[in-house]
Chain A
């Protein structure tokens, strides 16, 4: 049933968020540290584990894939509710600091991508 997939996704999501919040509390941060990451790992590992046992039923999988497909529309909605005016009110300091940090990150992508990269993917384009 479709709801089984949605419920499974909800379980992974909540367990991840709780783990992230507990980790945050443990290191003294009022917030969620890597909650989404833990949830994703849980779903990937769980999915992998189930695959060896015949995998999820297609309808059940559909409950998860629906939300995966809703991801881009949600991002579009998210873009429309950003505090874009704040970006302008911070003045030049904010503008330059934000741009510098982003450009710096972009420039390091090719450098760090070399770390631990399997030889096969060097030529492979996905």
Chain B
């Protein structure tokens, strides 16, 4: 009997995922309100609980467990991007326009800063060849820029794995830390959200972090963050790598 029920749930994975997320959020909001006295927002709690559950699986997180495979569709890039675009309905065109310049500066500075910090850390850990340094620096941008750069430059698979891991760390730290530091860095208005999206750039992390901080800020942060990975893939294997080789 339990096999039959499980088969139904696996066969209707997406619908089961709706139920799972609904339950997880209900529990998170209940705990937030009654246990934590609303000090930590329910959304933030639900996202952190999601990350914790991801440890039950491997590469695809909880979706590696056959019963929960539907979560990969619900939480995949297609529906994520579709819903992120929908949040633009609540965005104000004038606010986007006024944040344009700051957002663009933030993008270039964000990619450059992440790359430089990643290179410095890798150098301190004993990496000295420009290819490995550039790949790890690119990984500090996002977990997509890392492997794209490493692939283009012919880095070793170990270094590419490190670059992906660096990007994943960035996504997780952004998700968890954004609501905690938002107030102290003045992240409470659309203008700052656009700057934040450009500086941090990990679309998943920015979206999740802002959702846990203030859902109204999501469209502004997502708007700039979406250009970050492309800019990183453009700069890291070319301009940045050439500069690095020249310095080395």
* B173 contact set on A, CB distance < 8 A: 98-99, 102
> How many Å from the CB of A9 to the closest CB on chain B?
6
B79 A74 Cβ-Cβ under 8 A? yes
A90 B162 Cβ-Cβ under 8 A? yes
Q: A93-B125, A110-B186 are in contact. Are A83 and B74 (CB under 8 A)?
A: no
* Interface size in chain A (residues, C-beta < 8 A): 83
Nearest chain A residue, comparing its CB with the CB of B88: A40
Q: Is B131 in contact with chain A by the CB < 8 A criterion? A: no
Ordered by A's residue number, 24 sampled pairs between the chains whose C-beta atoms are within 8 Å are A9-B86, A16-B85, A23-B230, A29-B233, A41-B88, A48-B93, A72-B211, A73-B22, A77-B17, A78-B50, A80-B53, A80-B75, A82-B54, A85-B55, A86-B165, A94-B168, A98-B167, A100-B120, A101-B113, A106-B181, A112-B109, A112-B199, A113-B192, A115-B101
**Which 5 A-B pairs give the minimum distances between C-beta atoms?**
A90-B165, A98-B169, A33-B230, A79-B50, A77-B75
On A, residues with C-beta under 8 Å from B are 9-10, 12-13, 16-17, 20, 23-24, 27, 29-37, 39-41, 43-45, 47-48, 61, 64-68, 70-102, 104-110, 112-113, 115-118, 121, 124-126
